[in-house]
Amino acid sequence: MKKIVECVPNFSEGRNRETIDAIAEAIRRTSGCTLLDVDPGASTNRTVYTFVGDPDSILEGALAAARVARARIDMRTHKGEHPRFGAMDVCPFIPVRGVSMADCVDIARTFAQRAAEALKVPFFLYEEAALQDYRRKLPDIRHGEYEGLAERLKDPRWQPDFGPAEFVPQWGATATGARMFLIAYNVNILGTANQAHRIALNLRETGRGNDQPGRLKEVKGMGWFVDEYNLAQVTVNLTNYRVTPIHRLFEEVGKEAAELKVGVAGSEIVGLVPLESILMAADYYIEKENLFIYEEDQKIRLAVERLGLNSVAPFEPDKKIIEYIVAEPPDEPLADLSLRGFIEEVAARSSTPGGGSVSAVLAALGAGLGAMVAKLTYGVRKFESVDAQMRAAIPPLHETTRSLIAMIDADTNAFNDYMEGVRMPSGTPAEKAARTERMQQGLKTAVNVPLQTMTIADSAWEALCDTARHGNPASRSDIQVGARALETGIWGAYQNVVINLEGITDDAFKAETLKLADAIADRARKKMQEVLDILETKRTS
């Protein structure tokens, strides 16, 4: 899984296009970074940049942007409506995929140290990266803003975490930290700004004050009227969508609006959104309405419709969902071949693709036939009595099929590490030892890949048995072929495990691996026969 970190630096410049573009170009030029959005505001005199990358690249991108800001922004002449205390006012790092919050804390602290040393300016740590609890919240750090910073830096409690403990007039100070993905979300109200604000006060965490807190945690919000849309909005920041998800906010606004006798007319997501948050909404409505939806694109469509995300502007998943924006096509040359092309490639005068890839194909076809029969049975009127069984069987068969497709190329690539080891020099004892170690690691990879094929395929058996038991009897032969193909695919992968184990010198690894492979292969033989027996019993009963 590719590691993805998001960075959303806010710079105190929203009017000078040359400066705005120069910062954007610095991020774009950083290898491994993808600039997703540049959002300048003239009245706030502030620009928000959104970019993503792996942990190392995101750090370099933030440093590159900070260097441009140091050269081009002068806080002595800055005026704007948004609270601020520095040229690069705030620079949060957010985990998106394959990284933890702790990883982002490390990135933020490293960034603060390097930037403070290079630019000779003060940096404060906030949110999850904070070193003291009283500095955790951004408004506390930024209290007094730029105009009060010189005096505040004299207070020992407000010495910067990195950089000089003195006022740098051109720059001010920067807050950097790690936080959850912040979702900017608006719910449309067919009412007044006052009504929208009343709803926001009831829901946002701070409510109307300390004595009247709101109902929802990790929510900041207010109400306003948008002339462009000719409607009011409850506009919120969801600072932790796992605590208060999008759908919860939407549903609670609906309840509040009903009490005020005003209508809700959909909602909008401002900026980008994590895939997980949209799927959480879909799963909520699937459970609430007892729906049966298992494919990701259909789940997204359901969430978009239930939340009314197309109400004021089109919601385009490939432009709004962060994982889709940065997605790279899978490197699966074999799986992307036509069926004819794959067969001809197997038959060609080369060692790859070989039995391992063919085993993955067979297993995928076996699970796929089971998925086909279950899908063709579900929803048919005369088979309504087994809808529950088919709803349970379809997702694992569908997912097993998709997962096995990836193993077609994985098996062909499994020997890459081993072959790299073979090509290593072996002129000295040290070189021989390094070569042997690399080859042994490569052989373990060559074992683990077909073992993974076996494990994935093994997960389909219970669903395949249930499909044989309850599926359309007219599709009996499809299930029979599927069971045979699935078992043969597992058997073939097993043979690849066994033959590659022969060259491994780690006896403990060999024993543990063989024990697991034997168990899966034995189970496959028994479950295949169980499927065939079920079908035979149905045929003769």
Report residue 63 CA to chain centroid gap. 24
**Vertex 432, ends 428 and 437: CA angle to 5°?**
150
User: What local confidence, expressed as pLDDT, does residue 328 receive?
Assistant: 79
Number of other residues whose CB lies within 10 A of the CB of residue 364 = 27
The domains located in the chain, with CATH, are 4-178 (3.30.990.10), 183-325 (3.30.70.670), 339-540 (1.20.120.680)
Residue 421 is predicted with a pLDDT of 83
DSSP letter for each residue of 103-126: HHHHHHHHHHHHHHHHHT--EEEE
Three-class SS of 320-365 = HEHHHHCCCCCCCCCCCCCHHHHHHHHHCCCCCCCHHHHHHHHHHH
Q: Which string of DSSP letters, residue by residue, matches 76-102?
A: GG---SS---BSEEEEEEEEEES--HH
The burial of 145, by beta-carbon neighbours within 10 Å (0-12 exposed, 13-18 middle, 19 or more buried), is given as middle
In the DSSP assignment, the letter for residue 180 is P
Q: Name the helix (H) or strand (E) containing 234.
A: strand 231-238
Q: What is the pLDDT at residue 141?
A: 94
Residue 67: CA count within 13 A, CB half-sphere: 14
Would you state the structure tokens that stand for residue 132, as one six-digit string? 């003291």
Q: Give dist(CA 263, CA 378) in Å, integer.
A: 37
Nearest to residue 225, comparing CAs of 258, 252, 188, 262? 188
d(CA 145, CA 38): 24
Question: What's the pLDDT at 539?
Answer: 85
The 10 Å Cβ neighbour count of residue 65 is 27
Question: Which residues, given as ranges, of the chain have pLDDT below 70?
Answer: 1
Dist CA 446 CA 413 (whole Å): 9
pLDDT attached to residue 1: 55
What is the C-alpha end-to-end distance of the chain, expressed in Å?
49
The predicted structure's pLDDT at residue 272 = 87
- Which amino acid, residue 31? S
Active site residues: 82, 411
CA distances from 368 to 156, 316, 353, 380, 449 (A): 67, 30, 21, 19, 20
- Determine how β-strand 231-238 pairs with β-strand 33-41: unpaired
Say what the pLDDT of residue 97 is.
86
Q: Which of 112, 104, 95, 110 is nearest to 128 (CA)?
A: 104
